[in-house]
């Protein structure tokens, strides 16, 4: 275990699957305690908690719908209880805004309802969740916001989704500016195409899509969750304390 990391606690939204699960496990391997959230699959979240505990780290899994800003004050109270009961402390060190959904629709077919769903989960949710949890984030802590490679390259069907992720990248820079005096770093990680159940699992399950990605990626394959989980853990390491307000794309060189 890493001596620096083993004193830390991370709050990770969407920790029950995909990128969030990988980030939780990669951090736990370095000794970081985990407070994860889940929304629709309690069993998967509990399974991840078991994996983390097998690594010798403490873990608490809390239910959260990141589209429901009205629940954030109560959720912050639950985080405080988990910190006191599981970790015997009153603050945490890392916040990873990861939870998300995929909506694939052309610009002309995107509905206001789809737009609002993406807005609530990918931009409004992280904005106000960070606001609600900020009083409990340790000074000299770190925030990582999960964006997407789709803010750099454009693929039809992701206009609304990418617009929200572009917003989170701008928010990252503003948070870095405003929270910098407290020693808090704020960065964005922008994954490329990853083999998960995100967006119906199209990258993982559709071989033609997977082949297209591999052909257009410098490293010759689609990504897997551990490519991103490992990068998040690296961004939060002691050696990267001087990095803030940055967008780090982890895509294997997609569309370069």
* CATH code of residue 205: 3.40.50.720
Q: What pLDDT is attached to residue 25?
A: 99
Helix ranges restricted to H, 135-242: 159-179, 202-205, 207-215, 225-235
Residue 251 lies in a domain: no
CA distance linking residue 26 with residue 66, whole number of Å:
23
Residue 201 lies in a domain: yes
Q: What pLDDT is attached to residue 201?
A: 77
Instruction: Report pLDDT digits (tens) over 31-69.
Output: 999 999 999 999 999 999 999 999 999 999 999 999 999
∠86-72-98 over CA atoms, to 5°? 75
Residue 176 lies in a domain: yes
Q: What pLDDT is attached to residue 27?
A: 99
Domain count, the chain: 1
R_g (Cα) of the chain, nearest Å = 17
Judging by beta carbons within 10 Å of its beta carbon (0-12, 13-18, 19+), is residue 141 exposed, middle or buried?
buried
Residue 203 lies in a domain: yes
Residue 197 — very low, low, confident or very high, per pLDDT cuts 50/70/90? confident
Residue 148 lies in a domain: yes
Of 160, 186, 197, 250, which is closest to residue 18 (Cα–Cα)? 197
Residue 250 lies in a domain: no
Positions annotated as catalytic residues are 161
Domain that holds residue 92: 5-245
Q: What integer is the mean pLDDT of 197-221?
A: 89
pTM over cut 0.95? yes
Residue 78 lies in a domain: yes
CA distance linking residue 231 with residue 229, whole number of Å:
5
User: Looking at residue 233, what DSSP letter applies?
Assistant: H
Are 24 and 12 in contact, with CB atoms under 8 Å apart? yes
Q: What pLDDT is attached to residue 2?
A: 81
Q: What is the DSSP string of 76-92?
A: HHHHHHHIIIIISSS-E
pLDDT value at 244 more than 80: yes
Residue 254 lies in a domain: no
Q: What integer is the mean pLDDT of 172-201?
A: 94
């Amino acid at each position: 275990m890493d001596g620096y990391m083993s004193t830390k606690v991370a709050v990770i939204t969407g920790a029950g699957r995909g990128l969030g699960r990988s980030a939780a496990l990669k951090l736990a391997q370095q000794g970081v305690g985990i407070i994860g959230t889940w929304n629709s699959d309690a069993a998967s979240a509990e399974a991840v908690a078991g994996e983390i505990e097998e690594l010798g780290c403490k873990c608490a899994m809390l239910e959260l719908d990141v589209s429901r800003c009205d629940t954030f004050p109560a959720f912050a109270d639950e985080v405080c209880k988990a910190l006191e009961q599981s970790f015997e402390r009153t603050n945490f060190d890392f916040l990873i805004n990861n939870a998300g959904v995929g909506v694939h629709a052309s610009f002309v077919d995107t509905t206001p309802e789809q737009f609002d769903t993406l807005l609530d989960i990918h931009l409004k949710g992280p904005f106000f969740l960070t606001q609600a949890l900020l009083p409990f984030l340790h000074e000299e802590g770190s925030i990582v916001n999960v964006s997407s490679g789709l803010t750099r390259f454009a693929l039809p069907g992701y206009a609304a989704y990418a617009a929200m992720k572009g917003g989170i990248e701008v928010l990252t820079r503003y948070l870095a500016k405003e929270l910098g005096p407290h020693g808090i770093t704020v960065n964005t990680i922008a994954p490329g195409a990853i083999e998960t159940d995100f967006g119906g699992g199209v990258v993982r399950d559709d071989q033609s899509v997977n082949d297209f990605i591999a052909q257009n990626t410098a490293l010759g394959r689609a990504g897997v969750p551990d490519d991103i989980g490992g990068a998040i853990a690296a961004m939060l390491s002691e050696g990267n304390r001087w990095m803030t307000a940055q967008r780090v794309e982890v895509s294997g060189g997609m569309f370069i």
